[in-house]
Amino acid sequence: MRWKDFIYQQIIEHCNNTGSRTFSLQEILREKLSVFQAFRPDNKHIEAKIRQQLQFLRNDGLISFLDNTGHYTLRGVDLLDSEKEEIASIDFTKETPEKREYLVETYVRKVKWVKQAIDIFGYNCLFQSCGNTFLREDGIPYIEVHHIIPLCHGGEDKLWNLSVLCAHHHRMAHFSDANTQIAVEKLLLKEVAARI
């Protein structure tokens, strides 16, 4: 077994023993120094080796550095043993969903533009080589009409600002990182201009 895997295993064991995902190098050394020495008796620099392996575990996303006091958080394990026990004791069948009422203000698009966008652009996503579509129950392909520049950001309810997208690319246009959203907007404006 490699150092990194062994140390990670010991960290998981430590976190299970303490019931906490947070730990420090000093805690691990206090509890596990003899275990590490027995693992590789020829290594005379155990603390330095553990620091190095903690960095590798951070790079792999299995732990994260919590603060400047030398504390870490275990990341690569879904549930600690104590968390599994806690979840097992919860009776989800007795929980009723909470009701909430919202007042939502939205921009209303004109249906005629949606119909015209589909008439002109069709039922295929404007992303090149995208085949993400399916037939609805009525036999018509499913497609979503998207405002390239959202109405809430000053976009118009006009054909030049409408595109047809599959559900995946529509969500990408709205919820991806800022750079991707800008790239999608440019691609769609160019594609729509070429088609109208």
Distance between CA atoms of 83 and 79, rounded to whole angstroms?
Answer: 6
- Annotated domain spans of the chain: 3-88, 111-195
- pLDDT tens, residue by residue, 86-110: 777 776 666 677 777 767 666 566 6
Distance between CA atoms of 149 and 155, rounded to whole angstroms?
Answer: 5
Prediction pTM value: 0.48
Look up residue 141 and give its amino acid: P
Question: Domain 3-88 falls in which CATH fold?
Answer: Arc Repressor Mutant, subunit A (1.10.10)
- pLDDT tens, residue by residue, 32-65: 999 999 999 998 898 999 989 989 998 988 888 8
Closest of 175, 113, 172 to residue 145, by C-alpha: 113
